[in-house]
Amino acid sequence: MVTVGPRLEAESRRLQTAGKALDAYMLDSAGVFGVGLLLQKSHRIAEEEAAERGWGVGAELAPGQLSGWSIAEQLLVGQLLDVAAIGVSVTESGILIPQKSASLMVGIGPEYESSEVRSPCEYCDVSDTCRFRH
Ligand code: SF4
C-alpha cells in the first residue's frame, strides 16, 4: 500500500473552495504522479527482494484493476495489512482514503521469469482501447 497522505487532498479541496480550480487540478495531478512514483519504488523493492534470492517477479496487480477482481476487495487488502499505520483507510465499497493511495500485489518466486515487475495492462481485457494503458 502506498499513499501521498492527506495534506495534498486537503489543500486541493481548499483551493477548489477558494475558486482556484486550475490550481486544485494541478495539485491533484501532482498527487496522482506522486502515487505513480511510489508504485515504481514498490516495484524496485519487489525486484530487489526477488533478485537477492535468484527469483523473478510477476505483474503489479490490485483489486479493481482487471475484470473479475472487484474493487470492493480493497477492503480485504486493507484488513490484511496495517494500513492505518500509514494513515490509510478503506471504505465499505473499497475506496482508499486518502484517494491518492494505491494497493499493489506482486508475486515473487523461482517460477517467475521476469526480473522486472510487469504492467497489469498486459493482462487487461480492454488494453487495446484504454487511454490509461501503461
Ligand atoms: S489497460 Fe487500462 S483498465 Fe486495463 S489495467 Fe491498464 S490502465 Fe487499467
- The strand pairing partners of 118, in sequence order, are 59
**What's the 42 CA to ligand 1 centre distance in angstroms?**
19
Given a cut of 90, whether residue 5 has pLDDT beyond it is yes
Pocket probe for ligand 1: among 66, 105, 130, the residue whose CB has the most ligand atoms within 8 Å is 130
The amino acid occupying position 47 is E
Q: Which residues line ligand 1 (CB under 6 A)?
A: 65-66, 120-121, 124, 126-127, 130, 132-133
**CA 124 to ligand 1: nearest atom:** 4
What is the model's pLDDT at position 97? 97
What is the model's pLDDT at position 125? 86
Angstrom distance (rounded) from CA 122 to CA 47: 18
pLDDT (tens digit, 9 = 90+) per residue, 24-33?
Answer: 999 999 999 9
Pair 108, 49: CB distance under 8 Å: yes
Instruction: Classify residue 101 as exposed, middle or buried by CB count within 10 Å of its CB (0-12, 13-18, 19+).
Output: buried
Q: Which fold has domain 2-123?
A: NADH Oxidase (3.40.109)
Pocket probe for ligand 1: among 66, 118, 121, 128, the residue whose CB has the most ligand atoms within 8 Å is 121
Mean pLDDT value across residues 3-20: 97
Percent of the chain surpassing pLDDT 70: 100
